[in-house]
Amino acid sequence: MPLFESGTFASGTAEDHRFSVNLSILFTELPLLERPAAAAAAGFDAVELWWPWPDSPTPAPAALDALRRAIEDAGVRLTGLNFYAGQLPGPARGALSLPGEESERFRANVEVTAGFAASLGCTALNALYGNRVPEADPAAQDALALENLVLAARAADRIGAILLVEALNRIESPHYPLVGAPAAVAVADRVNEVTGLGNATFLMDLYHLSMNGEDLPRVIDTYAHRTGHVQIADNPGRGAPGTGTLPLADLLDRLRKAGYDGRIGLEYKPGDRPSAEAFDWLPR
């Protein structure tokens, strides 16, 4: 039975929301270049991606061109893209606050990401903060992070995009310092203070926030106006809506009432089935 049926929302249905599919966690049973068409065949008009080349912040132009053509040929829109963040999923949780080589890789990636996003009309770029590392002073990491986030915000601004700052969860990412909504919003505020651009916003991932035990209705009421993008997965399990216990229908309705009218990114695991079968919670 679809999770979002007529009457489930106090004042609407799933059609009140615009969904995008994250092709870095869904349709991964397919080669990268086949995923945009698979999302289109499943009925979606928008996709988002983690940085698709985790080992290369500056892939060959031919690789960028091939992915661009695959997205264009599928007739879907790229609505969100991560900057280089290392191998995801995995122990890496971003690169911009890591001293040395990884930070340099992030810097090399900034204009590549912005250029690729601009070529497809993508207007939301996500910069994962990066883990704490034992050999670095946390204050020095924060200073490096701010420097690199300012660089990313300015690149995003040049293409008419927003910069997303995401909170993860302390269980799966114990060394990631932004593990709550207030921490991520504070970093976005600091970036805006330095740049004066106002384009750094909060990426509200309801799965990560729920794993932290946060009061999700309160987070929505407090930060919906600061939110540039929303992502969802059920908890426990990071599966499709309806596989866990999160009241996602109610939470998304609350977001809409709080003024958020952007995309909802589907960033969940399909489970032991093809990704194309992982959308039965939506009405057809």
Q: What is the pLDDT of residue 7?
A: 32
Task: State the chain's maximal CA–CA distance in angstroms.
Answer: 54
Catalytic residues: 166, 267
Distance of CA 119 to the CA centre of its chain: 19
Region class of 88: left (phi > 0), else alpha (psi between -120 and 50), else beta: beta
Q: What is the pLDDT of residue 3?
A: 54
Q: What is the pLDDT of residue 82?
A: 98
Name all domains of the chain by residue range, CATH numbers in brackets: 14-277 (3.20.20.150)
Q: What is the pLDDT of residue 11?
A: 35
H or E stretch covering 165? strand 162-166
Q: What is the pLDDT of residue 12?
A: 41
Model-level pTM?
0.94
CA distances from 138 to 41, 133, 153, 180, 189 (A): 46, 8, 22, 17, 19
Angstrom distance (rounded) from CA 222 to CA 252: 14
pLDDT mean for each 10 residues of the chain (284 residues): 40 64 98 98 97 96 98 98 88 90 97 98 98 96 98 98 97 96 98 98 98 98 98 98 97 98 97 96 82
